[in-house]
Amino acid sequence: MNKIVKKEYSEDKKGRMANLELLRCLAMMMVVVLHFLGKGNLLGDLAAGKIGNVGTAAWLLEAFCIVAVNLYMMISGFFLCESSFKLSRLLKLVLQVWSYSVGVGLVAVLLGFVPEGERGTFYFLQLLFPISMGHYWFLTAYIFLYLLTPFLTIAVQRMTKEQLRTAVILLLVVFCGMKSILPVRLEMDSKGYDCLWYICVFLTAAYLRRYGMPSLERGHRALVLYVLSVLGIFAELMCLHVLYGKTGKLGLLLTVSVEYNHILPFLAAVGLFISFLKIQLTGSFARLVCRIAPYTLGVYLLHENLGVRNVWQSWFGAERIASVWELVFRTCMAVVVMFSAGIAVDWLRAILMRGLHGVLVHVGGYRKLMEGIGRGDTRFRQQSKE
């Protein structure tokens, strides 16, 4: 492991690093911002003649927050690359996703959030089979990635520094570099919405954990990389907007710089990730962050549920925003409320699940199932030590 990680970063009793848990919370807040701007129709139409002050400011906020998904996966990769695969963790995650998908989705129908014309068979299939039906695209990609971690972690542990670095560079060239410089749409480009891209992010995080990146760890270079990348994202957006307005060309590439597998969002994520790696958090604030962070996924599962994902933006008056300051205020309000609500709901869900587990553990069939899962975890843990 990188010397800096050993010397500067401390973990709590559960192995949590407060600095990265704080980054996890920040990344989820950024996700809320992205969904408020995008689904609230606040991003200016880059194909139009003028996008206005509010539309321009919204794109600037988008540029600062587009790192969110890459950051979340980078944090996961940072920890997963040094841990063993756990069947219990996978099943808990699937159960968590399913409970939100069905629970929130049905409540949304009862409250009238889902138009009658959309309450068809396909809607309920998405609720019942959220992973296979892509209800939450990020969790679909994440779970597929987690299924591959036994292979990925063994590969990372057995590769030399040069081998791992070469592999990461080759993957980034194919899945990130080419689409970032070519003035065409690549047929196989998934825009970073798939497991293949997150393998690239996972391996990048694994390299950072094992070997670090000394060139970015000195001074504030990593933070500068984040800021410059964000400004580059915004500049590319505006340049393509102007170019399209004058020539009518490259219309398919207007938003390419805010796609997850574009080089600028990737570099911005690396820069912000390393910046937080250098932060030391201690005391009561660090403990609070470590208590809140495990529930952040609930924020995503709640506000991005199929039944409410296009509704909650109106609760904060997204359609009434007429100035930049109002955009900033209402966006901050949406982040605070949705993040707090998501944390609270997932905290309650966790309590209910623990209580249900405490009851079911006395049932013979359930107890045997838990014992079988425990044996599976032990096998993978023993393999990782060999």
DSSP 99-137: HHHHHHHHHHHHTT-S-GGG-SHHHHHHHHSTTTTTSSH
Question: How far is CA 301 from each of CA 62, 189, 258, 342, 346, rounded to the nearest angstrom?
Answer: 21, 26, 22, 8, 9
pLDDT at 366: 87
- Mean pLDDT confidence for 243-255: 94
**Mutual orientation of helices 18-39 and 52-65 as an angle, nearest 10°?**
150
| Res 22 pLDDT > 50 | yes
| Res 167 pLDDT > 80 | yes
- Mean pLDDT confidence for 201-221: 93
> Can you give the residue range of the structural domain that contains 119?
3-385
pLDDT in tens, 44-62: 999 988 899 999 999 999 9
pLDDT at 225: 97
pLDDT at 4: 43
Q: Where are the alpha helices (DSSP H) in the chain?
A: 3-8, 18-39, 52-65, 68-80, 87-110, 121-128, 137-158, 161-172, 178-181, 195-211, 214-217, 221-247, 263-277, 283-292, 296-303, 312-315, 324-360, 364-385
Q: What is the pTM of this model?
A: 0.93
pLDDT at 216: 93
Task: Count how many domains the chain has.
Answer: 1
Torsion of CA 67, 68, 70, 72, to 10 degrees: 150
Q: What pLDDT band is residue 159 in, cutting at 50, 70 and 90?
A: very high
- Mean pLDDT confidence for 161-182: 95
Q: How many CB atoms lie within 10 A of CB 68?
A: 24
Which tokens hold the place of 386?
Answer: 């060999």
- Mean pLDDT confidence for 284-306: 96
> Which one-letter DSSP state was computed for residue 252?
G
pLDDT at 184: 93
| Res 2 pLDDT > 60 | no
| Res 383 pLDDT > 70 | no
Taking all residues of the chain, what is their mean pLDDT, rounded to a whole number? 92
pLDDT at 12: 54
| Res 5 pLDDT > 90 | no
